[in-house]
Structure 1
Amino acid sequence: MDLEFSKLELIEMLLQTSKESVLSRVRAILEEEQDFVINNAFYTTLDERREEYERGEGQSFTWQEVKQNVRDAKNGI
């Protein structure tokens, strides 16, 4: 099946649906598929934090601390 035809067919199906749950699921799937884009603000923040770290002002963690922080966050601690 042609990709463009499939897209048009899906668009038509979306236009015809009146179920909010279907639209929510489609939106969630499409948002998951979007490529992660790193913008200039991200690089600026990264550079600032690296400079702070190099001056001894930034905070750093060991790999064990990082894993524990993730576990704690996952468990709501």
Structure 2
Amino acid sequence: MQSTNLQKDKLDLIDKILHTEDQSTLDFLKSILIDENQEFQLSDEQKTILEKATEKYYSGEEPSFTWEQVKINARKSHNEKKS
């Protein structure tokens, strides 16, 4: 049995999707839902970028972010792409 909050969250999301007119947002959501069960693999270039970023993080050269800040940054990036 699902919690009331989970059901409410699902219904709220469905409502937002139904009222969304932006095709890029719908494409983004569709890609997330369709790719959910597919195995994700990084390219060699992406692995190199990740390794360099990890080194910078552990050396203190790059800051870390809270989960809230990551979400804010992702939303900003997504909104900038739409503009």
Superposition TM-score, scaled by structure 1 size:
0.43
Higher relative contact order (CA 8 A, sep 6+): 2
TM-score, length of structure 2 as denominator length: 0.40
Larger radius of gyration: 1
